Amino acid sequence: MRWRPRPGDPLPRTDLALEVSEFLRARERAEIPGLAVQERRLNSISVTRVEVQTPTAAVMAGKPMGQYVTIEAPELAEDDRRLHEEAGRVLAQELGRLLPPDPQAVTLVTGLGNWHATPDSLGPRVVGQLLITRHLRDYVPPELKGRLRPVCAVAPGVLGLTGIETGEILRGIVERVRPQAVIAIDALAARTVARIMTSIQISDTGITPGSGVGNRRLGINAETLGVPVIAIGVPTVVHASTIAGDVVEELLEHFRGNLRFCDIIGQMDQVDRKQLIQEALGEGVGDLVVTPKEIDSMIRQVSRVLAGGLNLALHPGIDPHNLTRYLQG
């Protein structure tokens, strides 16, 4: 993206706090008070921590107060075991800071999204690869005692297929299982194509209504579930309307130098642009997404990375690949 947002431009449509902060700083030509950003790099992986510190910043960013850590690795979706292990370790590390310290605390992992819609299937896929241990408490061999957290997991499905708000289902389960923490995994929408399948966002805010590829209606967070909710997400799509918007902006940028052009553009406000895009894309643009052709294999790869990182974070000091040998007995 080359164009610079201008004062008054509305927030882009993205689930990544990182992209919102990039946008805000570009639009305001300044740091945003209450929006702290730090970045660090290890080899081919960068980790950016965005903290929304004040209610004002939260309103401005359209995201609840809290921490948002984004792990970025351009080749995350390729079949590169070394990178996957490294990314898994970083994810485990960041996750470790947010998990309850007590190793006996029950953790409920929930894979949001629709198993049968590829771009939305990330959550259920990850959940299917986790080491589930809550039901084994009494079977765990002595040598593993204390090194295994009690972990349980569910993939509740989507409203369209269940007829029940995902938040409702989770509330029912949480009330029975009484976990000390919930980890919610979801597929996200980004605003730039380059971030599809290359970024992992971890946040302590849970999931806000209207976010995710599936656009959950109800929030899934401490407020609705009564326990802390850690959200982990990976962008799998960009909305077609977002891309169309970018194109318009690029075009305008292109002519910004041209004085006569500018006052013309002046006549065209945001609303006009939206309408323009509608006309270009036609009906049902809302449900149109942009994805790489190879999304199926990419999701397979990335879900393996997430599962690896989660297993590492939840069962520290245990090689997940040996673990199973005990458990499957």
Q: Nearer to a copy of itself by C-beta: 36 or 165?
A: 165
Q: Nearer to a copy of itself by C-beta: 26 or 276?
A: 276
The crossing angle, in degrees rounded to 10, of helices 81-98 and 295-314 is 50
Q: 134-173 b/e with 16+ CB inside 10 Å = b?
A: bebeeebeeebeeebbbbbbebbbbbeeeeebbbebbeeb
Q: Which positions from 53 to 92 touch a copy of itself by CB under 8 A, shown as an x/- string? A: ----------------------x--xxxxx----------
CA–CA separation, 40 vs 255, rounded Å? 36
Least gap, CB of 213 to a copy of itself (angstroms): 7
Residues 225-264 that bind a copy of itself (CB under 8 A): 237, 240, 243-244, 246-251, 254-255, 258, 260-261, 264
Residues 93-152 that bind a copy of itself (CB under 8 A): 115-120, 127-128, 132-136, 150-152
Sign of CA dihedral 63, 67, 71, 72: positive
Contact call for residues 250 and 2 (beta carbons, < 8 A): yes
Q: Which of 47, 95, 173, 197 binds a copy of itself (CB under 8 A)?
A: 173
**Nearest of 9, 158, 95, 143 to residue 313 by alpha carbon:** 95
Which region, judged by CB under 8 A, interacts with a copy of itself, from 34-42, 62-70, 88-96, 269-277? 269-277
Residue 161: phi, psi to the nearest 5?
A: -100, -20
DSSP strand pairing (229-239 vs 181-190): parallel
Which region, judged by CB under 8 A, interacts with a copy of itself, from 25-33, 45-53, 139-147, 288-296? 288-296
Is residue 276 near a copy of itself by the rule CB under 8 A? Answer: yes
Is residue 222 near a copy of itself by the rule CB under 8 A? Answer: no
